[in-house]
Structure 1
Amino acid sequence: MTPGLTGRVVCVGIAVLDQVWELPALPPGPGKFIAHGFRETGGGMAATAAVAIAALGGMALWHGRLGADGPGATLLGLLARCGVEVVDVVPAPGGRSAVSGVLVDAEGERVLAVFPGDGLPGASALAKGRLDGAGAVLADPRWPAGAERLFRLAGPRGLPRVLDADVAAAGTIADLAPLTDHLVFSQRGLVEFTGIEEPAAGLAAAAGRLGGMPALGPAGGLGVTLGARGSLWWREGGAVPLAAPRIAARDTTGCGDVFHGAYALALAEGRDAPGAARFATAVAALKAERGRGWLGMPDRAAVEVRLAEGWA
């Protein structure tokens, strides 16, 4: 870690209770299928990023919305056991927390259906002081008001602001983009933002739309994650690939969220955008190998070994 910098990251966004069924193959269509495994674990973009940060030895704070219900209570317990500090969260009476159903096949690929919750507060009550001592912040687009508050608090402090640019309500990414320094799309998120299927062409179109915004500045980052194919990054007017290690994936659920958390932690610790992307790639690959939801997060020692071994 660079002297004077901190591995403290404030994460704002969704937490989801994942119910995961393991199948030999994903269903080809409607019908009844027998699962050979089942588990209940935590999920959600910002919450999973926070858990990854804590597992890597960082200091992770999570702020989001929960209902005063069973899934909400379970998520609070899971976050605490994973070493994440939950801040300024008041479970909403009568609200329903987010829950997902996940089908995972033998190759680690999955189908995911998310109920995002309802009856949850619209405004964020994140206190300004929560950013004291932080080295970076991260938000997902599931709660635009929460992301906007986080980024507006972080901007005057000069903190790197990372947006996990996944599929979102119409206009959300465009509204949040001027407030971010690092805009990292999922592949589906980039297609939705640009209407272009081919990743390099989509990234070029995104760069055109974002011209002059912080993510295209010298200290910013604009990229798209592509799963087993690694990622692409917009640098010096072109799309530059970053390969991922070749692995035997057990479960890819949450790997993109883990990537974003590791990327934000690396920035908080003083890495530049290319270095943060390589660090995050190693972390996400290890997570895919391990599966097991929040319990399968890699630690710092395992990541350093993978980085030292390298990959093509």
Structure 2
Amino acid sequence: MTPRPTILAMGAVAVDHVLVTEAFPREDSKSRVVREYRVVGGCIGTAARAAAALGAKVKYAGKLGTSSEAELVLQALLRSGVDTRLVQRDETSQPIRSVILESEATHSRTVLYNLEDCAPASETWPVEEEISSSDLLLIDHFGMEGMLRAARIAAAASIPIVADFEHDARAEFVELLSLVDHLILAREFALRITATSSPAAACDALWTNARQVVAISCGNEGLYYRDRSTAKPKQMPAIRVIAQRTTGCGDVLHGAYTAAYLRTRDVPHALKFGVAAAAAHAEKPWEDGASIELKRVEQLLAQTAR
């Protein structure tokens, strides 16, 4: 039997404390909290869990301490089917801690995050063989030195790299961006780093002959993408659902795209699968965390085919 391809995931994991109010609070005001709960998030934490829940073989390499928050993250990864044997444990390393304020009326949200004692990607972990023997590398921007090392090793071994970027503050980001061949960015970030005014223009600005795809996600407007089969960017519509949340949809799209691409090597299909998974995530209540059901994703995909 041929072994399943393996995704190596490296990047941010978080514990999100969600506070839901009836309407988004104004500055210097008081608002009643109508619901509150904790979920495991983070760019790569959410993407890795989504990919594993949708049938991919995923390994997570990072550092987690022994606090209750770290244990919460570890158990969430395990429940989703993520292999955690590459997680380094120590006494002090914390996941990112976030407080998320969400409006019940509009589902808009603001994320307040704390990076104190958080351990970014290591410059020496995982060992080179773990990276070069993987079938795909899934990364974000958290820990630039470690991410650059992993991306250089993967690129030298012709291993596909999928990136979930949100920040470009470090000078090394330019090199990291150049190494990614499957680039999926949120619209606001893409427009800012390209100094363009439309998702299609951002696709063109970010396109190079070394890329397999550039996609710009635009929420309920779907996404724009350019791949090697298209001479100019194309639009892919969103799948309409009754949204319960928006936080994490982009990360789920990354994870689902990664799982589908490894299975089919078909970029447009993998993007459609990612869009369907993001819709399935959006329609579930917050308390379900990153839970994604393959059956529901396939139902949403079937709707788009009709």
Query: Same fold by TM (over 0.5)?
Result: yes
How many angstroms apart in 2 are the aligned matches of 1:112 and 1:119? 17
What is aligned with 2:246?
252
TM-aligned CA deviation for residue 248 of structure 1? 1.2
CA distance 1:30–1:271, shift in 2 (3 Å): farther
Give the TM-score taking structure 1 as reference length: 0.87
Aligned-residue offset at 1:36: 0.9
Distance in 2 (CA, whole Å) between partners of 1:279 and 1:119 is 32
Counterparts in 2 of 1:1-312, with a 5 A limit? 6-106=4-104, 107-118=106-117, 120=119, 122-131=122-131, 134-207=134-207, 211-212=208-209, 214-215=210-211, 220-235=212-227, 236-292=230-286, 295-310=289-304
In 1, Cα distance between equivalents of 2:295 and 2:62: 30
Deviates more, 1:222-231 or 1:87-96: 87-96
Q: Is the 8 A contact 2:50 2:290 kept in 1?
A: no
- In 2, Cα distance between the equivalents of 1:10 and 1:96? 21
Per-residue deviation at 1:115? 1.6
What SS does the corresponding residue of 1:85 show, helix, strand or coil?
coil
> Are the equivalent residues in 2 in contact too, given 1:136–1:265 (CA < 8 A)?
no
Stretches of structure 2 that go unaligned for 5 or more consecutive residues are none
C-alpha distance in structure 2 between counterparts of 1:87 and 1:31, whole Å:
46
Q: Structure 1's 80 and 250: CA in aligned 2 closer, same or farther, altered over 3 A?
A: same
Aligned 8 A contact 1:14 1:142 in 2: yes
Where do 5+ consecutive residues of structure 1 fail to align?
none
For 2:33, the aligned partner's letter is A
**8 Å Cα contact 2:100/2:112 also seen in 1:** yes
| Residue pair 2:61, 2:84 contacting (<8 A) in 1 also | yes
- Identical amino acids, percent of aligned pairs: 27
SS at match of 1:177: helix
Runs of 4+ in 1 over 6 A off after TM superposition: none
Secondary structure of the structure 1 residue equivalent to 2:238 = coil
The count of aligned residue pairs is 302
Q: CA deviation at 1:73?
A: 2.5
Amino acid at match of 2:56: G
TM-score between the two structures when normalised by the length of structure 2: 0.89
1:268, CA displacement in angstroms?
Answer: 1.1
Alignment RMSD: 2.4
| Conserved? CA contact 2:132–2:157, under 8 Å | no
Between the aligned partners of 1:5 and 1:154, the Cα distance in structure 2 is 20
- Aligned CA distance change for structure 1 residues 145 and 44 (closer, same or farther; 3 Å): same
- Deviations 1:245-296, CA, capped at 9 Å, x for gaps: 1111101111100000111111111232111111100000110011326645
The one-letter amino acid paired with 1:276 is: A
**Residues 66 and 92 of structure 2 are in contact (CA less than 8 Å); yes or no, is this contact kept in structure 1?**
yes
Tell me, yes or no, if the aligned pair for 2:214 and 2:225 is still in contact at 8 Å: yes
CA distance in 2, matches of 1:7, 1:302: 23
1:43 and 1:55, CA in 2 relative to 1: closer, same or farther beyond 3 A? same
Q: Following TM superposition, by how much is the alpha carbon of 1:80 offset from its aligned partner in structure 2, in angstroms?
A: 1.9
Report the Cα distance in structure 1 between the residues aligned to 2:118 and 2:47, rounded to whole angstroms: 24
Measure how far apart 1:155 and its partner are.
2.7
Q: 1:126 is aligned with what amino acid?
A: P
Of the two structures, which has the highest relative contact order with CA contacts closer than 8 Å and spacing of 6 or more?
1
How far apart in 2 are the matches of 1:11 and 1:201? 29
Inter-partner Cα distance in structure 2 for 1:293 and 1:258 = 16
User: Which secondary structure state, in structure 1, belongs to the residue aligned with residue 188 of structure 2?
Assistant: helix
